Structure 1
């Protein structure tokens, strides 16, 4: 063997050793994170202005000076891992500075909507981790029980039922996850909840998700269904009601059911039972019934090592309570067994758990099973043969640009039509619209992002665009319509009135008609008022018609008279074509 081959072989062996050590020591990163959380390091740095030296950090969290070198080693693990960041000192007499990253900002308790501290604490709790030390014996054990029960003698849920503090930890973890995730779901996938009058959050715990939905859709009646010991400790919520019950036995009827992180706790057989109860509780698809699930779809999302590893890590982790994370074909199987006719997957979080929102409807009769993905394809299930595939987006639709030189209302409304036709995701709309801005409008948007701190959502973008480039307001829109002067023609006035009326939300159809008619010139207004139009379009039609009639009348009155022509026999031919005889003259006869 040549020296080069020997050297390469040695390098391969050494790299293999590093890989093994890296995997074997992976738990150190988890324990370092757990230690930092329990020492309140993220909160301490946040409350110190977002940056601290090792000495400042040690003093603040109450460490003995002898532990300072160990603290630096702990933080080195967490900074190399990217959990914290460090700004190295350029001089030997100054210490480095630790700062938070977007990752550690999720562990700061001040951030209510994005504080994942409770759920991370539960995942790293010794009761959850210790069962994995006996995983090998659990695999060899012929008895079917969970890792958790083998280690503790109780299932995870039985321990929660018997231990109040443990149950509270679980509920706190679920609420923190709901606060974080629901904000994103409602912002990115809020259309899923449109048109729903009643919703039940199945196994919804203390109502974190249901409360967020109820606040976003005040007209919706939101209810949480969970076990009695959970409901007993649920906080009072003016927007949400609570019902004690068992989802395996009965789910109350509602337009929609919502299940977040529920199905991954149960095996396929139990999931089918839950889904069948769901099907009994919702109305048919034609009446708007649907089941909305938030859970992981293994294999979806970006094809990156971090994403793929996190998915399979979590799948093995959830095995401690006999849970499972499923690939799409596995979801499809349990849906089909439960008797549902279609489903749709909306991928939301590609880089974390690749959580997906699945919603599907109760079908009528038997249909072929056809998955629907908002990002890939849409298909309608059919009774026989293959499904008819329809493209998810139209081939060609122009997206006009806007430069800020005219009222943006028509441009914005055209964009709404484009988004509906192209099935554009809510999260993509502002970006797509801003890309087509030009001139002053483009400059305005650049300043807007700086003011807002990030890209605004579409409704906010629309509102601010109308404020910036729409017609100026001198009081209320109703007063603006009342002050609009009639200066030229009916058509010109109608165009100006309608353009302003489009900005006047809350004005009734009758009010618009009355304001329009009241501003017309008197000779048209009185005739239009007698006809009593009840909406703006009818009023404009009458005004234009009467204007044409008046123009015809004026034309007839202004028609010039032709001079008289003398005919033989003393007759004159006047402008009307009739011949007149002079007095004392004989009658004229044609041809004489």
Structure 2
């Protein structure tokens, strides 16, 4: 039986481990970045079967002096759930690797590849503001991003084509997934609609999928001028640059995907009021965003929602909201009711 002193020491050591793991958490993220930049996931995928470590090393674009370190990189990536070890017969002896569901989402050619997210989030423009976080709490600067870069995120994107391109790629990735779900499970939301404005629709990924399934629908992709400049229109898709705080083009219905979480409550109410003025009396506003839920039984999903909320604080001036907060915004903008429905594991539609 442990003495009181031994119990205290055990708790102290466990607490120390917890602190160490959070201090070192960046190692998991940056090891993943390294693995993707080396092309490990695509190499294993193209091999077509469990890949021996020696074969993986021989296929990597690395210096011969670094071959002994790959097993250590694979160890942490396996521990993090991005690869799985496969053990063959005892005579083979060598560890082999296969992809997991997570690493599949990091393949170059996967239709929902998240490589663009990794590239954006680890851009120094996005990382460096975190070093301004505690200082930001002591001053009136709108966001740590503003403190670091001297301007807000949208102004910066308008001046930096590379950053703007990476941001649009990330939004297009999520739009491909969400649009597929909307078409497959919630076609009723768009049936009978003749015109739709996709507010903050980026380069039109969501609009393209929608009009393919609803050829009678005319879609306006409405975003900042630098986002839509030079994009090629089609018979069903028109690109319009403008400011959603001033006015939104008229249509039967309006879509807001990952838009309102960027803004403060009063700004969201203004956007929603402009939507109400712009849409037909029988139309609807379709909001696709996160609805915060603190589910103790799903720790990973809850943590993802918390991470998104912190990112909104860091980069912009918005936040993620629970259903009560969403209802307050919607009713304050003059709408009389709303319905929530699940889209992806992370996102909810509000119509």
TM-score (norm: length of structure 2): 0.94
Residue in 2 that maps onto 1:358: 350
> How far has the Cα of 1:7 moved from its partner?
2.4
Residue in 2 that maps onto 1:138: 136
CA contact (8 A) 1:227 1:244 kept: yes
In structure 2, how many angstroms separate the alpha carbons of the residues matched to 1:121 and 1:60? 23
Q: Larger relative CO (CA 8 A, sep 6+): 1 or 2?
A: 2
CA contact (8 A) 1:298 1:325 kept: yes
> How far has the Cα of 1:311 moved from its partner?
0.8
In structure 2, how many angstroms separate the alpha carbons of the residues matched to 1:233 and 1:174? 18
Matched, 1:100 2:96: no
> How far has the Cα of 1:146 moved from its partner?
1.1
> How far has the Cα of 1:108 moved from its partner?
1.2
Over 3 Å counting, the alpha-carbon distance change for 1:127 and 1:53 in structure 2 is farther
Residue in 2 that maps onto 1:122: 120
| Structure 2 runs not aligned, ≥5 long | none
> Which residue among 222, 226, 238 is the counterpart of 1:225?
222
> How far has the Cα of 1:208 moved from its partner?
0.4
Matched, 1:328 2:323: yes
In structure 2, how many angstroms separate the alpha carbons of the residues matched to 1:3 and 1:252? 71
> What aligned pairs does 1:59-74 form with structure 2 within 5 A after superposition?
59-74=58-73
Residue in 2 that maps onto 1:345: 340
CA contact (8 A) 1:119 1:177 kept: no
In structure 2, how many angstroms separate the alpha carbons of the residues matched to 1:89 and 1:5? 47
> What aligned pairs does 1:48-63 form with structure 2 within 5 A after superposition?
48-49=47-48, 51-63=50-62
Residue in 2 that maps onto 1:172: 169
Residue in 2 that maps onto 1:30: 29
> How far has the Cα of 1:180 moved from its partner?
2.2
> How far has the Cα of 1:235 moved from its partner?
4.2
Greater CA radius of gyration, 1 or 2? 1
In structure 1, how many angstroms separate the alpha carbons of the residues matched to 2:220 and 2:39? 35
CA contact (8 A) 1:295 1:355 kept: yes
In structure 2, how many angstroms separate the alpha carbons of the residues matched to 1:260 and 1:5? 55
In structure 2, how many angstroms separate the alpha carbons of the residues matched to 1:50 and 1:281? 54
CA contact (8 A) 1:226 1:245 kept: yes
TM-score (norm: length of structure 1): 0.57
> What aligned pairs does 1:234-273 form with structure 2 within 5 A after superposition?
234-273=231-270
Matched, 1:181 2:173: no
> What aligned pairs does 1:297-316 form with structure 2 within 5 A after superposition?
297-299=291-293, 303-316=297-310
CA contact (8 A) 1:147 1:322 kept: no
